[in-house]
Structure 1
Amino acid sequence: VALAWLLAQHESIVPIPGTTKVHRLEENAGALDLELAPQDLHELTEASGRIDLSGDRYPEHMQRWIDR
């Protein structure tokens, strides 16, 4: 569901899930076939907005390469 939600956000967003298990790869690929209803998308977006994030996304030595 999380991957399907990400795919529905914008065509330029490309989730890159990682796994070492074939069954998880197949499960992740299932997101391509899952079409979320508008209400589901709305609820997931609202829920994601309530998650507190903290800290930098990248290590300090990599920050200078962002938005170049």
Structure 2
Amino acid sequence: MKVSDKVTVKTDGGPRRSGVVLAVEPFSEGTMYLVSLEDYPLGIWFFNETGHADGIFVEKAQ
């Protein structure tokens, strides 16, 4: 995923939420995505962990 991609994010127990990627930061354990959500227009960071399906929080929107 890259900046400006439309995505959905997994949050605590609720439905997936729609947003837009503002920034991408790679790390050795995965990738951090700064995502603008309706409640957080300036962005909130989400981490996708490499190699662990349960650690994937950001997915590209269909």
| Larger helix fraction of residues | 1
TM norm structure 1: 0.24
TM norm structure 2: 0.25
